[in-house]
Amino acid sequence: MRRALRAIVILSAAVSLASATTIIPMSVEQLAGKSTQVMRARAMQSWAAWNPQHSIIYTYTTFQVVKAFKGAAAQTVTVKQIGGRVGNTVQRVSGVRQFTGGEENILFLQPSQDNDGTFIVTGLVQGNYRLARANTGEIVASNGVPEVSAVQVGTGEVSSYRGSAMTVNELERRIQKAVQQ
């Protein structure tokens, strides 16, 4: 009995590790450099759909642009993320945070390779800073999510990715400095 329980625990841990997403950490400055659009935006609506091959579900979210830091400032943009729900089918990618209507984010974006007019988040989760009010009243920005690991270039060391958290003023200051260089 103990052996079976032990095997189940080990198997569960292995499945949990296998489903994690691994990224190479990027600084705010690196994200700004790799992005064609950087903006503060508010999520308006989301929907999910199959790709043309009916093999991948994407979730699309339309954002109202509140403030543009880099790129041509449109009033709205549509962000495409892998994963979502269509009917009874759910596809989920560890580390991809779904957007909620009304939430504000600072987004680092680049055009989708599908040339469909949508954008993808630069660096997967790293280019999606969710804004929230802290107990102190300050607005803080964080791009951390569970189930993500970081691999250090050079050493190959893998560790848990906690993301970056800072005040929105600090994040905006760093973005403005990065896009001016």
**Residues 11-40: pLDDT tens digits?**
333 344 444 678 788 999 999 999 999 999
Q: Which residue type, as a one-letter code, is found at position 17? A: L
For the chain, the structural domain boundaries read 20-180
Of 22 and 131, more confident: 131
pTM across the whole model: 0.83
Whether the Cβ atoms of residue 162 and residue 154 lie closer than 8 Å to each other: no
Specify the pLDDT at position 9.
Answer: 34
Of 73 and 51, more confident: 51
**Architecture per CATH, 20-180:** Beta Barrel (2.40)
Q: Provide the terminal-to-terminal Cα distance of the chain, rounded to the nearest Å.
A: 63
